Chains A and B, each alone.
Chain A
Amino acid sequence: MRVVMSVISDKAYSDLEEAVGAENVSRHPAVLDSYAYQPFENHESLPWCTRPVAVVMPAGTEEVQEVVRVCNRHGLRHKALSTGWGVWCGPTAEGVVQVDLRRMNRIIDIDEKNMYAVIEPYVCGAELQAEAMKVGLNTHIIGAGPNCSPLASATSMYGVGHDCIYMSTSPRNVLGMEWVQPTGEVLRFGTLGSGKGWFCGDGPGPSLRGTMRGYNGAMGGMGVFTKVALKLFNWPGPPLVKSTGTVVDLMSEVPENVGIYMCYFRDRRKFADAFYDVGEAEIGYSALKCAMPAFMMVLTPHFFSKMKETRNLSRLLAETMGHMFLLGLVGISKEDLEHQERVLRAIVDEHQGFMLDQAHVPSIRSNFMMNAIRATMPALAFRIGGSFSTALGRNDGLDSQLDWGETIADIKRGYAAQGKCIDDMGENPYFVLYENNLYAHCEVIYPYDPRNEEHVEAGNAMTMDFIIAAIEKCMEPGYGSLAPARKILSPLTSRYNFWQKKFSEAFDPDQASDKGYYTDETDFDFSTIDPERVEALKKLVEERTWTELGPPE
């Protein structure tokens, strides 16, 4: 049995110093607090999570192994982070050593011929993309932005982005992995494990890609991933997109084979059918369902706030601009782009929509283009309120996701009307497509001010309402990574956590990794929630819990 340590012993600390060098370890409370501060998506103890007992920064795989062994020897748990944004990056319990992988920041190889890159954890998306573009290649950037680690999203955490339509999701792009197990051993899988290089993640022998991360990712609960090979994709644009300015003053040269199109439709049905057809036609380099209010909110938050006061104008905008997608096209030549544009125009015409070629709108084309390529606009979502949260992302068929978006938007409007979050005038989803547009990721955003007590208090209640809505509509609610939600949802969804724990026990018999965001289950805090809603939830859970024989009738 592992004894929980709330402080690190001198011996354990000196062993860590020996492992990585004294200058790369700290247990000073000020340094530790900079890791315990994790406000994003932290609804339970904003802005702090548990303070680690030490922070350690290994420089390579062998040092990571040694750190893990030291932790095991001294009864400490470990939790790794790379770029480290979000509450899931921090410790969830006492006695955790935070392994900051910042010093492991090398792009080890970009194999131009075989179209893959081998990277370490602290390479960020924009860095890899900048280097890949120099040789005519590109990498998938996740929706959270180019400041995030591609290794982390590939191995440990979701992994969807604007470019999924062309480059799929992070876990699909893993071609090889070097993985320090919770025991300290190194596991290399795919062709790498057979000494044949990094080009294939599956074999010979069974693939471990599913085991490595499952659906959501283990979020630091299954050892430390030290290197990954990621598939790269064609980039027929220039080696560097020349730009001046940063965001609001950004002016970029739009290459002649790159186009950005806003496509509007009269209703949801026409919008969805057009999107399906785009998938079938296999065009698109980047695709987002979007709403005009969302763009206004991130680019012109002051104007947006004023506009909301003009009821008729805001209503008109929300209702007429809701069924819209933004599609980025990249051709292998100017002629190819023209062909793709003709295909898109035919689809839009067929579904009685209209499209605007953003390349001819100088003021916004630069931001739309760079956002399509590099996901540079999501960070602006913080402007309106200081923070935002989401009805955590789910992945499902396109139509089902449209249902989900509308459901969440209704709940959100209710809270906004009571001043419990910021009114963003509608659905405002992060909605991207993959698998020929049959499949979509939908993460409905709601902006709030983390310094507003009412907003913060409402967070739990909103989460509860989202969960109840999902159960009522038999939809996967996307909250599988939160320990309290997991306890509620696992019995309703094939008891997935039972199986995750089996994997966890097989790979980590001593439970050496911090499992808070992987398999742990905790009680939901119902104290701020309307008792009627709590009762509604309990009733639903009772009705829909799986038995040993399978799902309820």
Chain B
Amino acid sequence: MALEDYRRDIEGCSRCSSCKWVPYNQIKSARFAKNCPSIYRHNFHSYSGSGRMIIGLSLLEGRIELDETVADIIFRCQLCGACDAACKTYRDDIDLTEVLLELRAHCVESGAMLVEHMALVDALKREGNTLGEPKAGRGDWAAGLDVKDVNSDRCQVLFHAGCRFSYDPDARDVSRGHVHLLRSAGVDLGIAGREESCCGGRAYELGFRGEAANYADDVLNRVRSSGASTLVTACADCFAAFRYVYPRMGRELPVEVLHVSQYIERLLAQGSLRLRGEVPLSVTYHDPCHLGRKGEPFTGTWEGDKLERPMRLKRSGRKGVYDAPRNVLAAVPGLELVEMERIREYAWCCGAGGGVLEAYDDFASSTTAERVAEALATGAEALVTACPWCLRVFKDSVEETSSDLAVYDLAELALLSAGVTAPAGV
């Protein structure tokens, strides 16, 4: 696809600005009525979903040149998809996120890239991860867990940790917890350890589609050779890549793809896992963008007029994973869930996505701070999420502001309630 292929989507924009607001029926206060971090911070209309589509049209019509400022506007966006979900509340014929992705691919093809993104992709090529950490250390997080290695053993469930859960010192213990929790429920689990590579989802979002395709091929081959029937990941970014981006690129994985929250929910329903311990905590839950609105399954493309597109092919955001994490939390005795105003497909982004954390640190932090403020407004004692990227930036934000708000990954609370402790990491 090319930008030109989305001309009809772009020309459909009426400039109503619905892309800037939480869907109208769900606006509960003036304080938390906005949904787009980019326009919230930068204010000019060009920083909204609509504004970026207009930039696309201006480029197509030769009204503007692709220069540094234009590229900067295009990349100052977490690609969180809130604009798309809001737009699709009222429209069927505009795929806003696809236009934003196409603009980025256009930038890369034209050589209008950000230095920070080029560094990330270089690191990806060199070490196979988005953090630039040594490839050799990828499996270190699992040291001492005595878990199957799919490079030599076969298993039913392949656990994909992802870059952040593999390397981030604060997240590695959480990753160990995931594995330990699933194995305590009797799951035949394996990991790729050192041989695991990035899912390529971030490269896709930055516009580097060739790189993304290479990583998709790599994961696809590993999944095939593992003999697993289910692929479980605890990383929301990887989940969205496996569930949407891969099939979008023609590389559908031949296994069931689940986020760990869905798998824990299933184990609870089956009775294989029981959460009996009281966790007397008031929490609020943050819907990661890539688990929620961007975690919808890919249902196919539509070549014709999108006004006639069947609703099942419309990526509305409503079919993301929202209930599984909430059901897991509901299964924890003593735990109280207090919802924020912006939830599910209209949740505010954590700030880390789309290459913003790497290129625009201050913009990422201010977006995170806004979500933390919303969490604090609920009166909850803890903010729970189900994505290592969200976890990282929330922890940093809370630390920077010396807030009393605790930050957890969903599995940490499940582990606490299940009364199992993962062996200490190495």
Q: Identify the A interface with B (CB < 8 A).
A: 24, 26, 28-31, 33-35, 37-40, 47, 55, 57, 83-85, 100, 102-103, 107, 123-124, 126-128, 130-131, 145-147, 240, 243, 245-247, 249-250, 252, 301-302, 305, 370, 374, 376, 379-380, 382-387, 449-451
Does B426 lie at the interface of the complex (its beta carbon under 8 Å from any beta carbon of A)?
no
Which residues of the partner chain A approach B224 to less than 8 Å between Cβ atoms? none
Asked if residues B45 and A84 are in contact (CB atoms below 8 Å), the reply is yes
Which residues of the partner chain B approach A29 to less than 8 Å between Cβ atoms? 58, 63-65
Asked if residues B73 and A382 are in contact (CB atoms below 8 Å), the reply is no
Asked if residues A102 and B14 are in contact (CB atoms below 8 Å), the reply is no
Residue of A nearest to B309 (CB): A302
Asked if residues A127 and B27 are in contact (CB atoms below 8 Å), the reply is yes
Tell me the complex Cα distance, A103–B308, Å: 39
Asked if residues A146 and B63 are in contact (CB atoms below 8 Å), the reply is no
The number of chain B residues with a CB under 8 A from chain A is: 48
Asked if residues A131 and B29 are in contact (CB atoms below 8 Å), the reply is yes
| Distance to closest chain B CB from A25 (angstroms) | 10
| Distance to closest chain A CB from B17 (angstroms) | 6
Most central of B57, B69, B307 by chain A CB within 10 Å: B307
| Distance to closest chain A CB from B239 (angstroms) | 23
Asked if residues B14 and A40 are in contact (CB atoms below 8 Å), the reply is yes
Asked if residues A246 and B92 are in contact (CB atoms below 8 Å), the reply is no
Which residues of the partner chain A approach B23 to less than 8 Å between Cβ atoms? 246-247
Does B422 lie at the interface of the complex (its beta carbon under 8 Å from any beta carbon of A)?
no
| Distance to closest chain B CB from A279 (angstroms) | 28
Asked if residues B26 and A34 are in contact (CB atoms below 8 Å), the reply is no
| Distance to closest chain A CB from B241 (angstroms) | 26
Asked if residues B12 and A376 are in contact (CB atoms below 8 Å), the reply is no
| Distance to closest chain A CB from B50 (angstroms) | 8
Tell me the complex Cα distance, A386–B18, Å: 14
Which residues of the partner chain A approach B27 to less than 8 Å between Cβ atoms? 126-127, 130, 146
Asked if residues B15 and A37 are in contact (CB atoms below 8 Å), the reply is yes
Which residues of the partner chain A approach B43 to less than 8 Å between Cβ atoms? 24, 57, 100, 102-103
Tell me the complex Cα distance, A55–B42, Å: 13
For chain B residues 1-44, which have a beta carbon within 8 Å of chain A? Answer: 8, 11-18, 21, 23-30, 33, 43-44
Asked if residues B14 and A383 are in contact (CB atoms below 8 Å), the reply is no
Asked if residues A26 and B30 are in contact (CB atoms below 8 Å), the reply is no
Asked if residues A146 and B46 are in contact (CB atoms below 8 Å), the reply is no
Residue of A nearest to B33 (CB): A127
Which residues of the partner chain A approach B372 to less than 8 Å between Cβ atoms? none
Does B81 lie at the interface of the complex (its beta carbon under 8 Å from any beta carbon of A)?
no
| Distance to closest chain B CB from A61 (angstroms) | 18
Residue of A nearest to B48 (CB): A34
With known contacts A34-B51, A55-B44, A379–B18 Cβ distance under 8 A: yes
For chain B residues 156-197, which have a beta carbon within 8 Å of chain A? Answer: none
Given contacts A31-B69, A85-B17, 18 further A-B contacts (CB under 8 A): A29-B64, A30-B69, A30-B70, A34-B44, A37-B54, A100-B45, A124-B33, A126-B24, A130-B28, A146-B24, A147-B16, A147-B18, A246-B23, A302-B308, A382-B16, A383-B90, A386-B93, A449-B307
With known contacts A55-B44, A147-B18, A380-B90, A451–B33 Cβ distance under 8 A: no
Asked if residues B25 and A84 are in contact (CB atoms below 8 Å), the reply is no
Tell me the complex Cα distance, A34–B10, Å: 12
Residue of A nearest to B65 (CB): A29
| Distance to closest chain B CB from A54 (angstroms) | 11
Contact with A along B310-349 (1 / 0, CB 8 A): 1100000010000000000000000000000000011000
Partner of B30 from the list A30, A85, A130, A450 (CB cut-off 8 Å) is A130
Which residues of the partner chain B approach A379 to less than 8 Å between Cβ atoms? 16, 18, 24, 89-90
Asked if residues A451 and B25 are in contact (CB atoms below 8 Å), the reply is no
Residue of B nearest to A38 (CB): B15
- Listed from nearest, the 4 A-B pairs whose CB atoms lie closest are A127-B30, A246-B23, A34-B46, A379-B90
Most central of B14, B55, B64, B310 by chain A CB within 10 Å: B14
Does B248 lie at the interface of the complex (its beta carbon under 8 Å from any beta carbon of A)?
no
Contact with A along B109-122 (1 / 0, CB 8 A): 00000000000000
Partner of A249 from the list B16, B308, B318 (CB cut-off 8 Å) is B318
Asked if residues A240 and B44 are in contact (CB atoms below 8 Å), the reply is no
Does B91 lie at the interface of the complex (its beta carbon under 8 Å from any beta carbon of A)?
yes
Tell me the complex Cα distance, A57–B21, Å: 19
Q: Identify the B interface with A (CB < 8 A).
A: 8, 11-18, 21, 23-30, 33, 43-46, 48, 50-51, 54-55, 57-58, 63-65, 69-70, 73, 89-93, 307-308, 310-311, 318, 345-346
| Distance to closest chain B CB from A239 (angstroms) | 10
Tell me the complex Cα distance, A384–B93, Å: 9
Residue of B nearest to A367 (CB): B25
Asked if residues B91 and A383 are in contact (CB atoms below 8 Å), the reply is yes
Which residues of the partner chain B approach A127 to less than 8 Å between Cβ atoms? 27, 29-30, 33
With known contacts A84-B45, A124-B21, A243-B26, A387–B14 Cβ distance under 8 A: yes
Partner of B14 from the list A243, A245, A247, A382 (CB cut-off 8 Å) is A382
Tell me the complex Cα distance, A506–B33, Å: 40
Tell me the complex Cα distance, A427–B29, Å: 36
Tell me the complex Cα distance, A376–B345, Å: 18
Which residues of the partner chain A approach B93 to less than 8 Å between Cβ atoms? 386
| Distance to closest chain B CB from A365 (angstroms) | 13
* 12 A-B residue pairs with CB within 8 Å: A30-B70, A34-B45, A34-B51, A39-B13, A123-B30, A124-B33, A127-B29, A128-B30, A247-B23, A301-B307, A376-B25, A379-B24
Residue of A nearest to B74 (CB): A30
Tell me the complex Cα distance, A276–B173, Å: 71
Which residues of the partner chain B approach A38 to less than 8 Å between Cβ atoms? 15
| Distance to closest chain B CB from A504 (angstroms) | 27
Which residues of the partner chain A approach B17 to less than 8 Å between Cβ atoms? 83-85, 147
Which residues of the partner chain B approach A302 to less than 8 Å between Cβ atoms? 308, 310-311
Tell me the complex Cα distance, A389–B148, Å: 63
| Distance to closest chain A CB from B163 (angstroms) | 33
Asked if residues B58 and A39 are in contact (CB atoms below 8 Å), the reply is no
Asked if residues A33 and B55 are in contact (CB atoms below 8 Å), the reply is yes
| Distance to closest chain B CB from A75 (angstroms) | 24
Asked if residues B24 and A376 are in contact (CB atoms below 8 Å), the reply is yes
Asked if residues A243 and B25 are in contact (CB atoms below 8 Å), the reply is yes
Residue of B nearest to A381 (CB): B90
Which residues of the partner chain B approach A451 to less than 8 Å between Cβ atoms? 8, 11-12
Which residues of the partner chain B approach A26 to less than 8 Å between Cβ atoms? 44
Asked if residues B58 and A30 are in contact (CB atoms below 8 Å), the reply is yes
Which residues of the partner chain A approach B91 to less than 8 Å between Cβ atoms? 382-383
Which residues of the partner chain A approach B63 to less than 8 Å between Cβ atoms? 29, 33
Tell me the complex Cα distance, A147–B36, Å: 14
With known contacts A83-B17, A124-B33, A250–B25 Cβ distance under 8 A: yes
Asked if residues B44 and A246 are in contact (CB atoms below 8 Å), the reply is no
Which residues of the partner chain B approach A30 to less than 8 Å between Cβ atoms? 46, 55, 58, 64, 69-70, 73
Asked if residues B44 and A100 are in contact (CB atoms below 8 Å), the reply is yes
Residue of B nearest to A128 (CB): B30
| Distance to closest chain B CB from A79 (angstroms) | 14
Asked if residues A35 and B308 are in contact (CB atoms below 8 Å), the reply is no
Tell me the complex Cα distance, A30–B69, Å: 8
Asked if residues A145 and B44 are in contact (CB atoms below 8 Å), the reply is no
Tell me the complex Cα distance, A26–B73, Å: 13
Tell me the complex Cα distance, A302–B312, Å: 12
Tell me the complex Cα distance, A83–B48, Å: 13
Which residues of the partner chain A approach B65 to less than 8 Å between Cβ atoms? 29
Residue of B nearest to A106 (CB): B30
Asked if residues A247 and B89 are in contact (CB atoms below 8 Å), the reply is yes
Asked if residues A386 and B307 are in contact (CB atoms below 8 Å), the reply is yes
Residue of A nearest to B26 (CB): A246
Which residues of the partner chain A approach B11 to less than 8 Å between Cβ atoms? 39, 47, 450-451
With known contacts A127-B27, A130-B27, A246-B89, A31–B44 Cβ distance under 8 A: yes
Tell me the complex Cα distance, A102–B41, Å: 11
Which residues of the partner chain B approach A382 to less than 8 Å between Cβ atoms? 14, 16, 90-91
